[in-house]
Structure 1
């Protein structure tokens, strides 16, 4: 250890800094402005100085915080008014006539949007289709599809499907949703593929499941939970509507015309 120490000490004594030459010396006038600038000590504000600032009189040269909030709201309103005035007329170029869907496009796709804000529900896609609009082979395929769909099949259209309440129910509706994938298109593709597999399995004539009854427990459970009396006396499939009103009870055209306006009773 002593030998190593003496060797290091002798080596350190032999190392000498290079002599100061003209290339290593920088004149003051050749220094940068940042090096030549004098640094000032930051002035610290004490508690007494802060209290003195609060005691200063208001010169009526600014508004209060609520006034700034009001001005910001007015600026936002003016911004959107300018957009309506100058940008909205440009949307006429993208106008398209409304074409009602026909039998070639029976699928109804529902999505959610929060005006551009990120939300987990925006990835979800819901697919609704009427059983009568599907390419099924026959009544055996319709019955098999209802069995395979399980609780995804309902005799009435879902309330959030966008289907009119006055439309005939027919053989019911199938609803398939997906929100497991990170992209909305992927969720819609999975739901569409699931519907294709369901139709292909229903058209398979190897086993029609004709002896199995239709399970309606999910339908009655939903009606019982709604507490509207639809689960009583078979109203799930036979809910009375205006179409059930007897036509012979309606007054004839002559009777209505001859009756005239109602007279007031004095």
Structure 2
């Protein structure tokens, strides 16, 4: 409401006054128009280049866009920018995204022997978090083709509790450094050192030590009971049991020995109107009057039995 009202006031100030003032003489030739205080003129041309003159009161004069109070608010501009951004995204999805289909390639299963390492990173969508720098790597020693059986056993023994013999996966993680790249480089150095130690034939091969798997807790998976299996014999037994139950129920219905819950509830809800007593008419007591007259009426009601 404020912007249209200011616009009307600005237009009224720019138009000449056609109605004469009531205190002035009607035969006056010219009437003074409603104008604001004019801006004083600058003395030099250097000062006028930074000033904007106020529009004159003449209706034919061009309007200065500086004083046209028809602009949107800051909230409206923000909403308009969001609408422009959304339209740009929709335009990209409609006209540019379909062109990416020409660059699509069929999926090929990666060769685990060439890329045995699988990296996993953690992100919190731009927010700072202590666990955002954590990097996890896992691989299967069986996917490394250039390792012999004794070297692979030595690698598993060197890995210790990081190897799960149930899944055959060796898993390690690092979050000691501030950046993900540093943690990844650290894990890569550790894996390279493990492989170098496993391939080293001059060092101890740990052949006399068994592989320790006590750190892996095997969870007992629940099994379906064999007695619950629905065999053909069990199906025939259930069918005969159901048939016997239906026959017994039909006999009870024919002999009228089955108790019906709906009939019992309906019979309990029946009301014998003859046993209902008629309401007794009780005379309403009149309020007592204060003072001596009230005491007399109270004494009279007590003698009359409270009537």
For the aligned pair, the TM-score class normalised by the smaller chain equals: 0.3 to 0.5
> What TM-score comes out, normalization by structure 2 length?
0.40
Q: Which has the higher contact order (CA 8 A, sep 6+)?
A: 1
> What TM-score comes out, normalization by structure 1 length?
0.45
Greater Rg, structure 1 or structure 2? 2
